[in-house]
Amino acid sequence: MDDKLYCNWQQTRLGRSVFIILMLTISILSSNARAQSRTEIILKKGWKFFQGKNEKGYEKDLDDAGWQNVTVPHDWAINGPFDKEIDKQTVAITQNGEKVAREKTGRTGALPYIGEGWYRKRFRIPNANAKKTVLLQFDGAMSEPQVYLNGELVGKWNYGYNCFFIDISDRIIPGQENTLAVHISNRPRSSRWYPGAGLFRNVHLVVKEPSSIEQWGVTVTTPVANLKLGKVNIKTRFAGSGMRLITEILDRTGKKVAIDTTTKSYGNEFEQAFPITNPNLWSPENPYLYTAVSKLYLAGRLTDEVRTQFGIRDIHYSAAAGFQLNGVSRKFKGVCLHHDLGPLGTAVNTAALRRQLMILKDLGCNSIRSSHNMPSPEQVELCDELGFMFLAESFDEWAKPKVANGYHLFFDSDAEKDVVNLVKAFRNHPSIVMWSAGNEVPDQFGAEGVKRAKWLQDIFHREDPTRPVTVGMDQVKATMQSGFGALLDVPGLNYRVHLYEEAYKAFPQGFILGSETASTVSSRGVYKFPVEKAKDKKYDDMQCSSYDLEYCSWSNLPDDDFVLQDDKPWVIGEFVWTGFDYLGEPTPYDERWPSRSSYFGLCDLAGIPKDRYYLYRSRWNTESATIHMLPHWNWKGREGQVTPVFVYTSYDRGELFINGKSMGIRKKSKSSPLERYRLMWMDVKYEPGTVKFVAMDSLGHKVAEKSMVTAEKPYQIRLEPDRKVIHADGQDISYITAYLVDRKGNVCPTASNTLNFQVEGKGAFQAVCNGDATSLEPFQKPEMKLFSGKLVFLVKSLEEAGNINIKVTSKGIKSATVQLRSEKFTR
């Protein structure tokens, strides 16, 4: 198979039962196109890629036999190698409070994203489509893509994170082979993190009638949303005249719950209203989705059909009630996420995104901020489906630069059209409850910045009057003085917990959002002594302590934010920096090699939760109890030395035992932020054996317990797949956690053995990651050292169903096997 043929443009690609997916080759398209009012092909396979400058006219149909065969989405830089000379910078990072320029390595991941690349694909459309409208849509291309068809430039865009489409109807040659070529150019010093490189999001070919619904032409709003009534308004923009529109509303099961027919348009737009009695309201707890089926007719003939998923929900922000969803006040329990997927790089993969969100769901997280870039359609669709409120961010720069070749180069010419595309492409998603016009932009100072903030906010309001706009502000004093913060719908504070009270009094909105919080740093499974609160602490091994007491100069500990969230009703929530570690920004080691990825995540780069994950879980997850003890209990050589024990738990008190001896009862107390949210035994002395925590109720009765033991030497490998059955589509992935146990089955938390991976059958080894920010081992090689006793490797399906047999070995250790099953799913 060459590509997937999708009927109906705006229908989700996440495999819901109401959506029919036809798996066809492009050649089959020619025999079926006459029956389709609209077809969409996602151009995944059959691409050729070459990295280098345009010295031979690569936009033309020249010999590309020596080019690399790739599938799209594709990130050309993730294969490495890591190199400190890549994008090495001598700079003072002003937003981090730095005054003196110093050499920075690893700031953008130390991966070779800089340079030029060419993608080429050949395809045909049938002669029957000679009079059709043909569009190319790019969900994102990093960066500055220039698009050529048959050697002629047909369109270009600058912002790599934005969706855009090009009408190629006049340039395509039906019945003949057409050559699509895309030129990508990534400048040095163009990002503050790893941006990836290439066609890292999907490319679509859309074929439709000239009399049809415009691209992104359906707008769904729900101005009334309560348990008794949902009012659904739908505006449909179209091309043509004398048209008739029939719109049906389907529930989750495909049952028709409303229908309306109209021939009355306002210019080239139809407007319809649908009453839905006793609707299912969308929320994180009940992410219920409806589908609008829009059918456009001309003289009785169906000319277009578009399916749009949406949710019925109401959002409201006020000084009196804070943020309300469906009439109920609630707080954002959110995380910030960069767009890379760890060892996969930036190439979008639905299985990887779903895994991230399921890990966050167990955390009790209810919201995502796409930091600091526009999201992918797949990420937002998953948030609709799984139930996450979404803050869709746009820019990290406006007119004033943070990096030499950043978005400021394009702000004046492109900002409006970039915002327009963001809103049009994503406005029907119920998960999106807020837009962000920017993050920590240097324009926060002065009158010009105020004007830019208002200009951008007005564009968002014009395109979408239903959602508010925020900006992540770090220069809070300046924004209080200039009026910048006062004009925003939602004042977002990045850190600056000491200014919350002052900002609340100064800003007229009556509430504050923690748009970015904490910036606590830690390395999974690494603990430093003595245990003490520290700012910008550095160690020779370039790791950070997982006692979760170390943070950056501009930030604070999580507990300080917890106090504000719990005690101040006018603080409407927070977005923690970050949910997962990401490539680049290796603070506090950005001046030391070989550190090349972040330490901020609640989960490491492999997606394995750190200790801090459970600190947040103990507050956020109200459905399932949390008991998590740290550190591990393998400390040969520390016998008799003070080794504090922390417990992150949803219970408010408990007793700690070391080898059966009580270390005393601790109860959470408001005497200090740390004692309010952590149970801490600071004077415990290490001795090998068993550590046990007994949780108690208010009367001192045991309600739960958990133990950990000192492990003996490693004996055997253990494997834990996140899924044992995956889809045989060539894209699905199973994430398998590997770790070592001793003869008694106890986890060995300090193991650093090298593991080797063998995959046979209907799957293939894809990548591996151990979460170590200093590791220079390639993600694509089927071997890697364990870090703090664990790693995760990825197995990708083929396009044939069958068994996938996996074996993992390590010298001197008993091997392990696991079998997965790849199946063809009917979606």
Residue 202: give its domain's CATH number.
Answer: 2.60.120.260
195 and 326 in a single domain? The answer is no
Element holding 617 (H helix, E strand): helix 611-620
155 found inside a domain: yes
Q: Please give the average per-residue pLDDT across 119-128, as a whole number.
A: 93
| Section 723-731 average pLDDT | 97
What pLDDT score was predicted for residue 11?
36
Spatial CB neighbours of 66, under 8 Å, sequence gap ≥ 6 = none
The number of C-alpha atoms within 13 Å of 689 and in the hemisphere containing its C-beta is 13
More confident residue, 535 or 128: 535
**Cα 136 from Cα 30, distance rounded (Å):** 18
Residue 25 has pLDDT above 70, yes or no: no
Distance of alpha carbon 805 from alpha carbon 793, whole angstroms: 14
In angstroms, the CA 814 to CA 702 distance is 39
Tell me the residue type at 551. Y
Global pTM reads 0.95
448 noted as active-site residue: no
Among residues 683, 608, 694, which one has the least CA distance to residue 654? Answer: 694
**Is 587 within a domain?**
yes
Q: Is the pLDDT of residue 519 over 50?
A: yes
Do 91 and 65 form a contact (C-beta atoms < 8 A)? no
- Residue 187, SS3? coil
pLDDT in tens, 370-413: 999 999 999 999 999 999 999 999 999 999 999 999 999 999 99
Do residues 235 and 198 both lie within one domain? no
| Contact between 641 and 687 (Cβ < 8 Å) | no
How confident is the model at residue 827, as a pLDDT? 54
Q: In this structure, are residues 807 and 817 in contact, taking their beta carbons and an 8 Å threshold?
A: yes
Whether the Cβ atoms of residue 514 and residue 493 lie closer than 8 Å to each other: yes
- Three-state secondary structure string covering 555-577: CCCHHHHHHHHHHCCCEEEEEEE
**Apex 509 CA angle, 507 and 513, nearest 5:** 85
Give the residue among 303, 81, 347, 316 at the shortest CA–CA distance from 208.
Answer: 303
pLDDT in tens, 51-80: 988 777 788 877 888 999 999 999 999 999
Residue 782 falls within a domain, yes or no? yes
- Domain assignment present for residue 524? The answer is no
Instruction: Kindly state the average pLDDT of the residues 488-517.
Output: 98
Nearest to 666 by CA among 688, 685, 686, 644: 644
CB neighbour burial string for 133-164, b if at least 16 within 10 angstroms, e if fewer: bbbbbbbbbbbbbbbbbbeeebbebbbbbbbb
What tokens does 244 get?
């008739």
Residue 23 scores a pLDDT above 70: no
Closest of 377, 368, 376, 422 to residue 395, by C-alpha: 422
Confidence label for 15 from pLDDT (cuts 50, 70 and 90): very low
Shared domain for 297 and 342, answered yes or no, is: no
Where is pLDDT greater, at 698 or 206? 206
DSSP code of residue 129: G
Q: What is the rounded CA–CA span in Å between residue 373 and residue 339? A: 8
Assess whether pLDDT exceeds 60 at residue 13. no
Q: Quick check: 612 and 578 in contact, CB under 8 A?
A: no
Provide the CATH number for the domain around residue 286.
2.60.40.10
Convert the pLDDT of each residue in 329-355 to its tens digit: 999 999 999 999 999 999 999 999 999
Q: Do 331 and 377 fall into the same domain? A: yes
Residues 430 and 505 grouped into a single domain:
yes
User: Cα(823)–Cα(801) distance, rounded to whole angstroms?
Assistant: 5
Decide if 181 is inside a domain. yes
Q: What six digits make up the tokens of 144?
A: 């500055």
Q: 698 or 675: which carries more pLDDT confidence?
A: 675
Give the whole-angstrom CA distance, residue 365 versus residue 334.
6
How much is the average pLDDT of 628-633? 98
Q: What is the pLDDT of residues 402-417, one digit of tens each?
A: 999 999 999 999 999 9
Active site residue 305: no
* Tens digits of residue pLDDT in 654-686: 999 999 999 999 999 999 999 999 999 999 999
End-to-end CA distance of the chain: 17
Domain count within the chain: 4
Residue with token string 């999708």:
6
310, 333, 350: which is the final residue of a domain? 310
Separation between Cα atoms, residue 356 and residue 341, nearest integer Å? 9
- Which among 556, 36, 545 is positioned nearest to 302, based on CA atoms? 36
Confidence of residue 259 (pLDDT cuts 50, 70, 90): very high
Query: What pLDDT was estimated at residue 94?
Result: 75
Is residue 299 located within the same domain as residue 325? no
Where residue 523 falls (left for φ over 0; alpha for ψ -120 to 50; beta otherwise) is beta
Q: According to the model, what pLDDT value does residue 430 have?
A: 98
| Dihedral of alpha carbons 639, 642, 643, 646, sign | positive
**Could you tell me which residues come within 8 angstroms of residue 293 by beta carbon, excluding any fewer than 6 positions away?**
247, 248, 249, 250, 305, 306, 307
Q: Is 328 found in the same domain as 265?
A: no
334 and 306 both lie in a single domain = no
**How is residue 498 annotated by DSSP?**
G
pLDDT digits (tens, 9 = 90+) for 533-573: 999 999 999 999 999 999 999 999 999 999 999 999 999 99
The set of residues, in sequence order, having a beta carbon less than 8 Å from that of 437 and lying 6+ positions away, is 394, 395, 419, 453, 456, 457, 460, 469, 470, 471
Helix (H) or strand (E) holding 229: strand 229-238
* 377 lies in some domain: yes
Average pLDDT, rounded, for the chain: 94
The pLDDT of residue 36 is 62
Q: Between the CA of residue 726 and those of 248, 734, 735, 801, what are the distances in Å?
A: 33, 7, 11, 9
Per-residue confidence band for 115, with pLDDT thresholds at 50, 70 and 90: very high
Residue where one domain finishes, among candidates 310, 341, 361: 310
- Separation of alpha carbons 1 and 133, rounded Å: 25
Q: Which residue from 464, 436, 225, 221 is spatially nearest to 325, judged by alpha carbons?
A: 225
Please give the share of the chain, as a percent, with pLDDT higher than 70: 96
Contacts of 118 (CB under 8 A, 6+ apart): 49, 50, 51, 52, 54, 58, 59, 67, 181, 182, 183, 184
Do 432 and 372 sit in the same domain of this protein? yes
Q: Supply the range of the domain harboring residue 220.
A: 213-310
Candidates 440, 574, 655, 777; catalytic one: 440
* pLDDT given at position 44: 97
Q: What is the DSSP letter of 651?
A: S
**What tokens were used for 46?**
């059959």
pLDDT digits (tens, 9 = 90+) for 208-219: 999 999 999 999
Which tokens hold the place of 764? 């293939």
Instruction: Kindly calculate the radius of gyration of the chain based on its CA atoms and give it in whole angstroms.
Output: 27
CB 389 within 8 A of CB 363: no
Examine the fold and report which residue of 208, 235, 264 is the final residue of a domain before the chain moves on. 208
Q: Residue 367 domain-assigned?
A: yes
38 and 178, same domain (yes or no): yes
18 has a pLDDT exceeding 60 = no
For residues 48 and 482, give the distance between their C-alpha atoms in angstroms, rounded to a whole number: 51
Angle value at C-alpha 278, between 274 and 280, nearest 5 degrees: 90
- Same domain for 374 and 480, yes or no, is yes
305, 378, 397, 516: the active-site residue: 516
* Mean pLDDT, residues 292-316 taken together: 98
The DSSP annotation for 326-361 comes to: TTEE--EEEEEE-S--GGGTTS--HHHHHHHHHHHH
The SS3 call for residue 280 is: coil
6: confidence class by pLDDT, cuts 50, 70, 90: very low
Q: What is the pLDDT of residues 440-497, one digit of tens each?
A: 999 999 999 999 999 999 999 999 999 999 999 999 999 999 999 999 999 999 999 9
Task: Judge if 487 and 592 occupy the same domain.
Answer: yes
Q: What whole-number distance in Å separates Cα of residue 28 and Cα of residue 154?
A: 26
Residue 9 lies in a domain: yes
